[in-house]
């Protein structure tokens, strides 16, 4: 599988280094698909609703340097992905923005983004990062759509179905039972890919962790030890990625894994608020909310 669209561009904002832009693993022109036959609502989570909202807010910290999801965010980072927009950085080049807009069309046929569906389809089919094709009104129209609770809800739903559901399924297989453990898997899936053929992805890193430790929490390995090794291996992948095009930016984004490991080191296994996300982020989530 050729991975074409993972990135994290580093920005210095108010003195903190923020990893922004939600590019995750894709085959050119094809959005990542949810786990076959399952949605987040159909897979029994190891985390309750409040913890899942906290995970969404941690994603907002990592993606946009904010403590709540930024649904109206949209920009062209000039990184080959076209527009990057919304809570997890839906991109126009890869097709996941198209998938989101199509879902929006199905619940609100006359929505402000509906008129862009055909162009988004063409961009996704060709793997084009041409933002000009969408016209000057696309950015204000995206921001207008973000005022609609239905569109905001769909952003969360699509993100969960595409990344949280595979993380939940893998946590069950690996025996990861803590909320923080699920967050580690979710964030890795979102940033580095949820599929077994993502060469730096969540499944690959979990399998390498099992091999290094001779097992996993399901077979009796201490979960804290397993997650610490998982994060070490994840950082190695980020410093030396096999994913094309990530050689320059991923080595600078290891603070993401570092921040999650610091939560484990401080015993924040249940993701209760207030939760301080450290490393280079230094933000505190006082009340989880979408």
Query: What are 266-289's pLDDT values in tens digits?
Result: 999 999 999 999 999 999 999 988
Give me 86's structure tokens.
């919304």
CA distance 6 to 192: 7
Quick one: pLDDT at residue 23?
53
Residues 25/27/28/29 CA torsion (nearest 10 deg) = -100
Residues of the chain with pLDDT under 70: 1-45
3-state SS track over the chain: CCCCCCEEEEEEECCEEEEEEEECCCECCECCCCCCCCCHHHCCCCCCHHHHHHHHHHHHHHHHCCCCCCCCCEEECCCCCCEEECCCCEECCCCHHHHHHHHHHHHCCCCCCHHHHHHHHHHHHHCCCCCHHHCCCHHHHHHHHCCCHHHHHHHHHHHHHHHHHHHHHHHHHHCCCCHHHHHHHHHHHHHHCCCCCCCCCHHHHHHHHHHHHCCCHHHCCCHHHHHHHHHHHHHHHHHCCCCCCCCCCHHHHCHHHHHHHHHHHCCCCCCCCCEEECCCCCEEECCCCC
Quick one: pLDDT at residue 245?
76
Quick one: pLDDT at residue 79?
81
CA distance 82 to 47: 34
Instruction: Answer for the pair 188, 205: CB distance below 8 angstroms, yes or no.
Output: yes
Instruction: Answer for the pair 55, 47: CB distance below 8 angstroms, yes or no.
Output: yes
CA distance 187 to 191: 6
Cα separation values, 72 from 76, 84, 220, 225, 226, Å: 14, 11, 44, 38, 37
Quick one: pLDDT at residue 184?
98
Give me 159's structure tokens.
């993100």
Cis peptide leading into residue 7 (ω within 30°)? no
């Amino acid at each position: 599988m050729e991975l074409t669209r993972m990135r994290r561009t580093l920005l210095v904002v108010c003195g903190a280094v923020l990893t922004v832009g939600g590019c995750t693993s894709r085959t050119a022109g094809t959005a990542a698909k949810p786990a076959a036959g399952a949605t987040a609502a159909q897979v029994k989570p190891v985390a309750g609703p409040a913890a899942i909202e906290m995970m969404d807010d941690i994603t907002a910290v990592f993606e946009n340097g904010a403590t709540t999801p930024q649904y109206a965010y949209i920009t062209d980072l000039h990184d080959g992905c076209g527009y990057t927009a919304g809570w997890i950085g839906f991109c126009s080049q890869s097709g996941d923005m198209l998938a989101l807009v199509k879902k929006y069309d199905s619940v609100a046929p006359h929505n402000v983004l509906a008129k862009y569906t055909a162009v988004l389809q063409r961009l996704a089919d060709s793997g084009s990062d041409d933002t000009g094709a969408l016209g000057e009104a696309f950015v204000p129209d995206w921001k207008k759509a973000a005022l609609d609770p239905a569109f905001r809800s769909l952003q969360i739903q699509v993100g969960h179905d595409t990344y949280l559901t595979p993380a939940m399924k893998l946590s069950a297989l690996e025996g990861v039972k803590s909320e923080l453990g699920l967050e580690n898997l979710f964030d890795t899936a979102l940033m580095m890919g949820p599929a077994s053929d993502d060469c730096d992805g969540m499944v690959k890193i979990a399998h390498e962790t099992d091999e290094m430790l001779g097992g996993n929490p399901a077979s009796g390995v201490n979960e804290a030890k397993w997650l610490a090794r998982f994060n070490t291996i994840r950082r190695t992948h980020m410093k030396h990625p096999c994913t094309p095009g990530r050689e320059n930016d991923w080595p600078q984004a290891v603070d993401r894994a570092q921040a999650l490991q610091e939560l484990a080191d401080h015993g924040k296994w249940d993701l209760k608020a207030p939760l301080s996300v450290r490393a280079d982020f230094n933000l505190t989530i006082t009340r989880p909310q979408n």
